[in-house]
Amino acid sequence: MGLLYRTWFGLTGWLLAAVLCLFVVQGQVVWWQPAALWTLFAVLWFVTRTLGADPGALPVAAALVFCGWLFLTRLDPAFAHSHSWGVLLGGLLYLFGLLVPVTGWPLTRLWGGAALALLAVTALWGEASGGARAWLTVHGVRFQPVELAKVFFVLYLGKSLSRKRPSWEPVLFLGGFCLLLAWQRDLGPAVLMFLVFCWLLLQQSFSWYKLLACTAAALVGFYGSVRLFTHVENRVLAWLKPWEYLESKGYQVVQGLFALRAGGLVGQGLGQSLVHVIPQAHTDYLLAVVGEEFGFLGVCALLICYFGLAFWALRIADGLAGEEQVIALGLTLLQHLQVFLVVGGMLRLVPFTGLTLPLVSYGSTSIGSQLWMLGLLAGLSRRGGQG
């Protein structure tokens, strides 16, 4: 427990130093935002510990959230303002996941149906942004339903794949999920959910036939996406030959690589990067800004935080059994495979998917769903996980 207290004190000192540096760089900082976020995470930690759940993820998640707030303030204080409100909403969702045992509800198909319904409504009445019809506005509130649909679908998969009797139903639900996302032209989440599904399927009962089927489905889906969607073809070309398309489709990739290279070992320093030359830096490419200003060591520190979250979640999953263990593993994969796709896309290990960096990048719905997942995992730790 002493380690957690020392972690909080260290986090507080880092936050005060960061706010002071930001004040020196930009001349003004809305002080209530970091204060409100610190108070929120302190309250969440106290409530989680009081209820006997494992609060170990909260200091790490707070560090990631504060890092996102810091760099979003650098880019545009309006981004940081919206980000702060998204984190406060995420705090409520964390408490909901912690207090309401939805993972124990015997409503398997309801979760899958809710995920498909959200995507169908978005495909029919959603708003387009960045080429994808991925946004929905309800009573003046604009959000991305796919972020919630991903969590619903993992709850469905956890309950469905943990059954002893084999069934084609999860495959059909996955097909509907991916087709609806293709209709929206939002294929990044489809790739993520396909990877989560394949991992859980093989983890439950491995066979070479299943691995071959997953590989064949991935190749067919990749080829079909490239042939059917121009923006997917552009991303593949930017992945394979970014220097040949320096002034067009490869511009974002090349600028991201330049930023990471310019950062070197320790970075250019806070406020010293050319952040505005990177398109969509606040969502897709915030890690490149971190790399340019905080360097290789800063990026490594960020990735270590994600490793810490993964270790915490897997410890909880190891103490569970049955469908709850599968759900815990699915939530862990949902968060950390997304980190791999974002970092891998930036380093040209895989084509860029347009996903956000969890808990760091701009996006209220994204950060809300990420904190909800942490709340669900903390709630599971009360019922058998390592506390």
Question: How many other C-beta atoms are found inside a 10 Å radius of the C-beta of residue 227?
Answer: 10
Q: What's the CA angle centered on 292, arms 286 and 298, to 5 degrees?
A: 80
Percentage of the chain beyond pLDDT 70 is: 89
Burial class of residue 88 (count of CB atoms within 10 Å of its CB; 0-12, 13-18, 19+): middle
Place of tokens 């993964």: 310
Q: Which residues pair with 137 in a beta bridge?
A: 142
Q: Which residues contact 73 (CB under 8 A, 6 or more apart)?
A: 22, 26, 29, 79, 80
Mean pLDDT of 240-260: 81
- The answer to whether 135 touches 126, Cβ cutoff 8 Å, is yes
**Percent of the chain's residues with pLDDT above 90:** 40
pLDDT of res. 367: 93
Rounded to a whole number of angstroms, the CA Rg of the chain reads: 21
- Choose the most confident range, by mean pLDDT, from 152-161, 248-257, 351-360: 152-161
Contacts of 146 (CB under 8 A, 6+ apart): 118, 119, 122, 134, 181, 184, 186, 189
3-state SS class at 129: strand
pLDDT value at residue 14: 63
- Residue 387's pLDDT is 41
pLDDT over 50 (residue 278): yes
Cα of first residue to Cα of last residue in the chain, in angstroms, is 11
pLDDT at residue 320 greater than cutoff 50? yes
Backbone angles phi, psi at 278, to 5 degrees: -95, 115
DSSP for residue 164: S
Query: CB–CB of 8/55 below 8 Å?
Result: no
Among 130-134, 184-188, 208-212, 266-270, the range with the most confident prediction by mean pLDDT is 208-212
Q: How far apart are CA 295 and CA 278, in angstroms?
A: 16
What is d(CA 121, CA 112) in angstroms, rounded to the nearest whole number? 14
Structure-token pair, residue 225? 């996406």
Mean pLDDT computed over 351-356:
86
Higher pLDDT, 273 or 147: 147
Q: What is the pLDDT of residue 35?
A: 83
User: What average pLDDT does this structure show over 189-206?
Assistant: 92
pLDDT of residue 385: 47
Q: Which of 335, 331, 343 is nearest to 367 (CA)?
A: 335
Q: Between 67 and 383, name the one with better pLDDT.
A: 67
Contact 362, 202 (CB under 8 A): no
Predicted confidence at residue 171, as pLDDT, reads 92
pLDDT, greater one: 186 or 140: 186
Summary mean pLDDT of the chain:
85
- Strand 127-129 with 141-143, pairing: unpaired
The contacts of residue 286 (CB under 8 Å, 6+ apart) are: 68, 71, 72, 357, 360, 361, 362
Range 247-258 average pLDDT:
81
Would the pLDDT of 378 be above 80?
yes
For residue 13, the model assigns a pLDDT of 67
Structure-token pair, residue 259:
């930023």
Is the pLDDT assigned to residue 252 strictly greater than 50? yes
Residue 386 has a pLDDT of 44
The answer, yes or no, to whether residue 195 has pLDDT greater than 90, is yes
pLDDT of residue 7: 62
Higher per-residue confidence, 79 vs 335: 335
322 Cα distance to chain centroid: 25
Provide the whole-model pTM: 0.90
Using one digit for the tens of pLDDT, what is the confidence trace for 1-51? 555 556 666 666 666 666 676 666 666 666 778 888 888 998 999 999 999
Check whether 311 has a pLDDT greater than 90.
yes
**Is pLDDT at 333 greater than 70 in this prediction?**
yes
